Amino acid sequence: MEKIPLLGLGTWKSSPQEVTEAIKTAIDLGYRHFDTAFFYHNEKEVGEGIQQKIKEGTVKREDLFIVTKLWNTFHEKDLVKSACQNSLKNLQLDYLDLYLVHCPMGFKAGDDEIPTDQNGMIIASETDYLDTWEIECHPFLTQEKLINYCHSKGISVTAYRPLGGTSDFFNEPIIKKIAEKYKKSVAQVLIRFHIQRNVAVIPKSVTPSRIKENFQVFDFELAKEDMDSLLSLNRNLRLATFPYAKNHKDYPFNIEY
């Protein structure tokens, strides 16, 4: 069974103009796990960065773990294969290491990636789903029950938005105190938090210094009391709520997990 590198580079909201260089910088620093998606509109540029490094001989394809995702408008059975093939073409790859269902909600097929009705609510497809996906996870949304369940069933978990996307994490006194204790940045503590939970983590950055900093998390270990302190910050605060899809029959955030 192929193993997922616990630390990867996320590319959500990384502009096509910046992401190729970010990928190349990350490969040079030792990253081997890269996460993109059709919906990010940067697969081609991610692929370009990967291909340049392979051609240079810095890495081999088999050294890398490449993830992309099936967008919601392609859930119908006869659309999945062509969507996957299109992503492979964009990435200039023969295979993917992981192909995820981006969201567990099918949308109406067509050119509109977020098809909505006159009330601004999503137009669903009739497809059903039976799969797993990445989950939002950070100290304000620790997902303990879901992660424990997944690990008990041998299901790998990847945390998206591990740094939150808000300044709250960086101003949280407990997190700042832990960072000072280990002489690490808040971001490094947050990334290490996931690694010690055996959860893959994909912080996004296009800034070389931050890409480097985010990878420097294997030279320290958070003590149990610090892990417990981070877990105690849970507020069940979900930052990605997809409000336009709350009417969807498969809207995932109404269930217990």
Residue 55's CB is within 10 A of a number of other CB atoms, namely 8
What Cα–Cα distance (Å) separates residue 210 from each residue in 4, 136, 183, 188, 205?
22, 21, 16, 10, 7
Whole-angstrom Cα distance, residue 102 to residue 172?
30
Distance CA 69, CA 204 (A): 16
Q: Which of 40, 95, 99, 244 is an active site residue?
A: 40
Q: Can 40 be counted among the known catalytic residues?
A: yes
Q: Which of 190, 165, 166 is nearest to 176 (CA)?
A: 190
In the chain, at which residue ranges do the beta strands (DSSP E only) sit? 9-10, 33-35, 65-70, 98-101, 135-136, 158-160, 200-201
Q: CA-CA distance, 214 to 29, in Å (whole number)?
A: 10
**149-166 b/e with 16+ CB inside 10 Å = b?**
ebeeeeebbbbbbbbbbe
Q: What is the DSSP letter of 50?
A: H
The H or E element that residue 161 is part of is none
Sign of CA dihedral 195, 253, 150, 227: positive
Q: How far is the C-alpha of 104 from the C-alpha of 243, rounded, in Å?
A: 14
In three-state secondary structure terms, 178 is helix
Q: Which residues are known to be catalytic?
A: 40
